[in-house]
């Protein structure tokens, strides 16, 4: 091999800068995934309190003192009202007061919520028994009850209003599946953007990818592992729309700004949307407003929608559907704008055109994605 064909050594400065850049990229990824979890706090959990106004006010005062900021309490008239709010996901649990106090949970909301409400039940039971013992002791001291009278034991029942399916008893399935779903949508968009030429062919590829992926993934998650519940067709539609929204957005960004659009779409999906999706914890626990912001991205909207379809059919899921549709429309707009812009460049560059020289100059600054055949 001649010396002239040898690959020249990379300059030292470039080698060091590439290594530092790679390390910084890893640091950003680690921070993006760990920050929502490590900075999360137990706060603002929506809980209903059912009972008369005096008893409800007392419980609210006790919780405000012992667990300040942990709960966002809503007073309702009856147990039935509380159950309705839980099943529509207006609240995550409820405290029912009266002769038989009860705490209502929904394990389908996640283990963190159930554990927290279980602690509330234990606290209420302890306080109720202490109050009962004090009342009996006072009655004995006043001669209103015979000596040796023992206060009855009060038990606070914990009722799971929306339990998890036996096939996913720990509720880990949907959380575990959320990242592969996000990654799959991103990979589909990247591959189509890089390997498929032609705007209509790209759109067709995204549609076929979403349909096949939605049907296949929903079948695995529902029939295969029992993670998803409810109507298979709706679940498949939700999964497919999620994959379409992510893939279409990446392809659309590529059509608009060229190759740089691919990492832009990937970063928004993987490093922003996925960590803020609240797949493993209530969105209220994520610091600041980021939990609610995360629901405006595809990962957050899709995991919320799948949970609603599986366990909370009475909940209003229109918001999640509209968010996914919005991202899909953004992708379609990007593909459409890129398509017509490419048509103008190709037409202007045609042989014999008076604008050939100008088109060539425009093409020289056109992003890589804009040179895709139309």
Cα distance between residue 46 and residue 105, in whole Å: 12
Q: What does the pLDDT read at residue 60?
A: 83
Residue 39 inside a domain? The answer is no
Residue that terminates a domain, selected from 116, 132, 163: 163
Structure tokens at 116: 């927290």
Same domain membership, residue 218 and residue 132: no
Same domain membership, residue 247 and residue 152: no
Chain segment 165-189, per-residue pLDDT in tens: 999 988 889 989 999 999 999 999 9
Helices (H) and strands (E) in the chain, counts: 12, 5
Residue that terminates a domain, selected from 132, 163, 194: 163
Mean pLDDT of the chain: 86
Residue that terminates a domain, selected from 142, 163, 184: 163
Residue of 240 and 281 predicted with greater confidence: 240
Which pTM does this prediction carry? 0.84
Residue 308 inside a domain? The answer is yes
Cα distance between residue 171 and residue 44, in whole Å: 22
Residue 20 inside a domain? The answer is no
Q: What does the pLDDT read at residue 350?
A: 60
Q: What does the pLDDT read at residue 371?
A: 45
Residue 269 inside a domain? The answer is yes
Is the pLDDT assigned to residue 148 strictly greater than 80?
no
Same domain membership, residue 150 and residue 179: no
Same domain membership, residue 221 and residue 356: yes
Same domain membership, residue 193 and residue 146: no
Secondary structure element (H or E) that encloses residue 274, with its range: none
Chain segment 98-146, per-residue pLDDT in tens: 888 899 999 999 888 989 999 888 888 888 778 778 877 887 777 777 8
Same domain membership, residue 227 and residue 356: yes
Cα distance between residue 120 and residue 114, in whole Å: 10
Number of domains present in the structure of the chain: 2
Same domain membership, residue 189 and residue 152: no
Same domain membership, residue 64 and residue 141: yes
pLDDT-wise least confident of 27-41, 77-91, 341-355: 341-355
CATH of the domain at 138: 3.40.1710
Sheet holding 93-96, edge to edge: 71-76, 45-50, 93-96, 102-105, 157-160
Same domain membership, residue 178 and residue 72: no
Residue 279 inside a domain? The answer is yes
pLDDT-wise least confident of 53-62, 169-178, 183-192, 252-261: 53-62
Same domain membership, residue 248 and residue 322: yes
Cα distance between residue 186 and residue 166, in whole Å: 31
Same domain membership, residue 341 and residue 310: yes
Same domain membership, residue 250 and residue 157: no
Residue 359 inside a domain? The answer is yes
In sign, the C-alpha dihedral spanning 132, 138, 141, 142 is: negative
Cα distance between residue 239 and residue 320, in whole Å: 12
Question: Coil, strand, or helix at residue 162?
Answer: coil
Angle between helices 318-348 and 356-365 (to 10 degrees): 140
Residue 13 inside a domain? The answer is no
Domain extent for 150: 45-163
CB 306 within 8 A of CB 230: no
What region does 174 belong to: left with phi over 0, alpha with psi -120 to 50, or beta? alpha
Residue of 208 and 350 predicted with greater confidence: 208
Residue 23 inside a domain? The answer is no
């Amino acid at each position: 091999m001649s010396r002239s064909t040898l690959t020249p050594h990379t300059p030292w400065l470039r080698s060091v800068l590439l290594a530092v850049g790679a390390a910084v990229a890893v640091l950003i990824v680690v921070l993006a995934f760990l920050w929502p979890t490590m900075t999360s706090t137990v706060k603002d959990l929506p809980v209903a309190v059912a009972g008369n106004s005096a008893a409800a006010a007392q419980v609210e005062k006790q919780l405000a003192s012992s667990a300040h900021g942990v709960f966002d309490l809503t007073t309702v008239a009856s147990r039935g009202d509380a159950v309705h709010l839980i099943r529509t996901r207006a609240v995550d649990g409820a405290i029912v007061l009266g002769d038989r106090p009860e705490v209502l949970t929904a394990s389908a909301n996640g283990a963190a919520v159930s554990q927290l409400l279980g602690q509330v039940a234990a606290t209420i039971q302890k306080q109720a028994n202490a109050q009962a013992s004090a009342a009996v002791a006072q009655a004995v001291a006043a001669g209103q009850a015979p000596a040796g009278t023992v206060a009855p034991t009060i038990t606070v029942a914990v009722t799971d209003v929306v339990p998890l399916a036996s096939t996913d008893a720990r509720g880990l399935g949907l959380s575990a599946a959320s990242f592969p779903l996000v990654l799959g949508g991103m990979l589909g968009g990247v591959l189509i953007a890089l390997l498929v030429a032609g705007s209509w062919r790209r759109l067709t590829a995204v549609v076929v990818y979403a349909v096949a992926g939605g049907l296949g993934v929903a079948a695995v998650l529902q029939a295969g592992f029992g993670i998803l519940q409810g109507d298979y067709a709706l679940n498949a539609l939700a999964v497919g729309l999620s994959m379409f929204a992510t893939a279409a957005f990446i392809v659309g960004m590529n059509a608009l700004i060229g190759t740089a659009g691919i990492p832009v779409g990937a970063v928004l999906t993987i490093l922003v949307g996925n960590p803020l999706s609240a797949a493993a914890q209530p969105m209220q626990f994520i610091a600041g407003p980021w939990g609610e912001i995360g629901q405006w991205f595809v990962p957050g909207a899709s995991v919320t929608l799948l949970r609603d379809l599986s366990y909370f059919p009475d909940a209003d899921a229109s918001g999640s559907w509209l968010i996914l549709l919005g991202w899909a429309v953004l992708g379609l707009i990007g593909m459409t704008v890129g398509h017509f812009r490419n048509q103008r460049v190709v037409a202007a560059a045609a042989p014999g055109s008076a604008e050939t020289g100008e088109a060539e100059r425009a093409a020289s600054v056109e992003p890589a994605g804009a040179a895709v055949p139309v």
